[in-house]
A and B are shown apart, each in its own frame.
Chain A
Amino acid sequence: MMDLRPRSHPTYLAFLVHRISGLLLALFLPLHFWALGGAIQGEAALEGFLRWTDRPLVKAAEFGLVLLLAAHLAGGLRVLALEFLGWRRRQKDLVAASAGISLAAGLLFLLAVF
């Protein structure tokens, strides 16, 4: 039976974002290593792959990747801060700051790309 207890508070959403971004990044890792492996195959193979990644659609997907990475990093810093610094009343602010930092990182990447 589906558990319908509502889960909508900011810190729960932060947990979800952190967990899901971590899982998606873990799924991406094999692709990352495969691309790096291209360098061993020879310069031409890697060059061909890198040229393929210059397509706008791939760049847009990369934006998602950077956003995931930024969200996971910012969320991780938030967890470290709340567990090691013992902050009590500022959790929502921390969640908001993490979201802001990840969005800013994603946008900076977009600016750098286009």
Chain B
Amino acid sequence: MVEAAGTLEVSIWRGGAEGAMQRYQVPARGNQTVLDIVTHIQRELDPSLAYRFACRVGMCGSCAMMVNGRARWTCRTHASRVIGADGRLGLRPLANLPVIRDLATDMAPFFDKWARARGRFQPKDAPDGAVPQEFHVVPPASKQRREADAGIECIGCGVCHASCDVVAWNPDYLGPAALNRAWTLVNDVRDGARQERMEAVAGDAGCHSCHSTQSCTERCPKQLDPSAAIAGLKRSLFWDTLLGRRA
């Protein structure tokens, strides 16, 4: 690793819902990620610092935090790219979720929203969850398959949820990730719970609350487009309502 001269001034949120920023001096290195910095602080300076990570290579999505005010995967964020002209780095826990301690948030409300949006695959032929007798044929080039493919790579890191103003204004709003998941299932021809799912995403806290600011699409580290998925849900609900297809 290339050594770079100097130290970094890093401020980190300490505490739960109530707390304060605490400053640390961290050696600057030529090639370090924000997660490297947090790990350095926890191992060398202050073992009481709470944070969360697992894979360190952008697969698990557990290390997302607010980096200088913007939700990012810290493992895939080079410090040199985000340190401002003033040489400072500010780290806070992921926005729009309860803080457990320091940089660790409680992700339960985020995943509860997936459940509320009926984010679980419900096999068409076997409501009891049994393996269906016949396999569905899903042509890879079909419109529905392509719609589902566009959103299926979500790993549930919560970056879009933390970046969404509508979630900040209305904590009940299902949010981009849960609605994106719902849209992939609406386009899954093997799924049998379309009706219930559409009702689940149609309420006050559902897809119609979205203002299409597209912060979710802008920030998604997987380059997914939850905003387009939400637009798809709105469109489907519009036609379902107009044509009397809703129960």
Number of A-B contacts (CB under 8 A): 49
Q: Complex Cα distance A96/B172, Å?
A: 33
Question: Which of A4, A11, A84 meets B218, CB within 8 Å?
Answer: A11
A9 proximal to B (CB < 8 A): yes
Q: CB distance A79 to B69 under 8 Å?
A: no
B163 proximal to A (CB < 8 A): yes
A7 proximal to B (CB < 8 A): yes
Known contacts A4-B69, A6-B69; is-contact A12 B215 (Cβ 8 Å) = yes
Closest Cβ of chain A to B4, distance in Å, is 26
Which B residues are CB-close (under 8 A) to A43?
none
Question: Which of A5, A6, A9, A86 meets B232, CB within 8 Å?
Answer: A86
Q: Complex Cα distance A15/B66, Å?
A: 23
Q: CB distance B228 to A88 under 8 Å?
A: yes
Q: CB distance A84 to B228 under 8 Å?
A: no
Which A residues are CB-close (under 8 A) to B232?
86
Question: Which of B70, B227, B235 meets A6, CB within 8 Å?
Answer: B70
Closest Cβ of chain A to B115, distance in Å, is 26
Q: CB distance B212 to A15 under 8 Å?
A: yes
Which B residues are CB-close (under 8 A) to A84?
235, 238
B136 proximal to A (CB < 8 A): no
Which B residues are CB-close (under 8 A) to A5?
66, 69-71, 95, 163
Closest Cβ of chain A to B57, distance in Å, is 26
Which B residues are CB-close (under 8 A) to A3?
95, 168
20 contacts between A and B (CB under 8 A): A3-B168, A4-B69, A5-B66, A5-B163, A6-B69, A6-B70, A9-B214, A11-B212, A11-B214, A12-B213, A79-B212, A82-B231, A83-B212, A83-B235, A84-B235, A84-B238, A86-B231, A88-B225, A88-B228, A91-B214
Instruction: Sort A-B residue pairs by CB-CB distance and give the 5 closest, nearest first.
Output: A11-B214, A4-B69, A15-B213, A83-B231, A9-B218
Having A3-B168, A86-B235, one finds 14 other A-B pairs with CB under 8 Å, namely: A4-B69, A5-B71, A6-B69, A6-B70, A7-B215, A9-B218, A11-B213, A11-B227, A15-B211, A15-B212, A82-B212, A83-B231, A83-B234, A88-B228
